[in-house]
Amino acid sequence: MSNPNDPFTEAQREGLYRAIFERRDVRSQFLPDAIPEEVLARILRAAHHAPSVGFMQPWDFIVIDSLAVREQVLESFNEENAKASENYTGERQQTYRSLKLQGILESPINLCITCDRSRGGPNVLGRNSIMEMDLFSTCLAVQNLWLAARAEGIGVGWVSILDQDVLSNILQLPDHVYPLAYLCLGYVSEFLEQPELQSKGWRSRLPLEDLVHGNSWGQPIAHRKLEKHLAGG
Ligand SMILES: Cc1cc2c(cc1C)N(C[C@H](O)[C@H](O)[C@H](O)COP(=O)(O)O)c1[nH]c(=O)[nH]c(=O)c1N2
């Protein structure tokens, strides 16, 4: 049992922040190398230790290595991606079409993290007014997995350009189970230094100092001397 007054050592803190800042969404850099079972088990355990509303633990993890299943998912991606590209015109559309937004076949494992909306019965502590809390909890499992994978040298890419009903059908999910995150996992040739959407000129990181407000929307926080520490994104 760890002592609550026992802070992490500097090296432990650095490791945690390294995972946070060097985590990337991966789609172009996957290697075909298999992920050892014990490593996969470790990152799944990290996901399972996420916080959840009422300790509901609404997640399941569908580990997909079947090429046939992945090809069906890719077909849904291609359809939805073609529609998405129609949201843009001109140069922006060309840039959109040049982006690689999934690594479904290149990665050795796909993982669907689902949210069982009925787990624990109809009354879940903390999910009485805001019913989406189970979905938010499942997102935290995704983030835990993403960070643990980074620490293991494994890249993760989230593919959301999918029709969720088609995906549910492919994976034969029951009605009360929501396919929250479709992820591609694998070792990588490199972790990019910055988000691929930034390096490809699609969108940049916003300045953190513009996003932190004092007391109410738009109020400066200068009086807290916090502002000078926020510069640098
Ligand atoms: C809920 C959700 C859904 C998606 C994503 C992320 C999240 C959180 N991202 C990845 C996204 O583009 C990426 O996280 C940002 O561009 C920031 O880059 P890094 O994750 O820091 O590398 C993503 N990327 C992609 O290529 N195809 C996709 O369908 C999606 N979908």
Measured distance CA(62)–CA(171) in Å, rounded: 8
Mean pLDDT of 184-193: 98
Q: What pLDDT digit, counting tens, does each position of 192-230 carry?
A: 999 999 999 999 999 998 999 998 998 888 666 787 788
Tokens of 147: 């960070």
In this predicted structure, what is the pLDDT of residue 114?
98
Mean pLDDT of the chain: 95
| Whole-structure pTM value | 0.96
Residue 1 has pLDDT above 60, yes or no: no
Q: Mind listing the domains of the chain with CATH numbers?
A: 25-189 (3.40.109.10), 203-233 (no CATH)
For a substitution probing ligand 1, which of 104, 147, 158 has the most ligand atoms within 8 Å of its CB? Answer: 158
**pLDDT bucket at 2, cuts 50 / 70 / 90:** low
Q: State the CB neighbour count (10 A cutoff) for residue 118.
A: 13
ipTM here: 0.99
Measured distance CA(230)–CA(233) in Å, rounded: 7
Centroid of ligand 1 to alpha carbon of 75 (angstroms): 19
Q: What pLDDT digit, counting tens, does each position of 34-49 carry?
A: 999 999 999 999 999 9
**Residue ranges around ligand 1 (CB below 6 Å):** 24-25, 27, 101-102, 158-161, 195, 197
Index of the ligand 1 atom closest to the CA of residue 160: 29
Centroid of ligand 1 to alpha carbon of 5 (angstroms): 36
